[in-house]
Amino acid sequence: MVTLDELGVAISNMVEEYAEDIIGKLEKRLDETAQEIVKYISTHAPRSGGTKPFANSFVAEPIGSGVNKTIVIFSNEKGKLTHLLEFGFTHRSGKYVGPRPFMRPAYDLLTPKMLEDIKSIIEKGDD
């Protein structure tokens, strides 16, 4: 026979295991989306830069873990150029160089699917 205390402990353990499983699935989906965004950027960003193309300089760096995990995507070598290429700029000569957006389109394209997947994971426990 199981006491109420034992039943409570068993339920608590089951809920904790389920929560850990869900958090792992959420982290995995976040990592996958970050890699998809980096891949999108590497194919759509300008290829200038000689042997070290600007498009290949982007990385996804995780900060924190679990439900507090954030992933920052940035150019680890040529970060000072990113906003100029993304939004456009006026050259010192006065010539306007138009924007070539690559970061915002990646976010707009890939984030909605990730959010739907996260919602499904939270609601149903699905991958």
Is the model's pLDDT at 49 over the cut of 90?
Answer: no
Question: CA dist 43 to 15, 21, 103, Å?
Answer: 42, 33, 11
**Mean pLDDT over the full length of the chain:** 90
pLDDT category at 72 given cuts 50, 70, 90 is very high
Instruction: Report whether 77 contacts 69 (CB < 8 A).
Output: no
- What is the average per-residue pLDDT within 97-112? 93
CA contacts within 13 A on the Cβ side of 42: 14
Q: What pLDDT score does 81 carry?
A: 86
pLDDT category at 127 given cuts 50, 70, 90 is low
pTM beyond 0.85, yes or no: no
- What is the average per-residue pLDDT within 75-94? 90
For residue 79, which of 61, 97, 105, 98 has the smallest C-alpha distance? Answer: 61
Is the model's pLDDT at 85 over the cut of 80?
Answer: yes
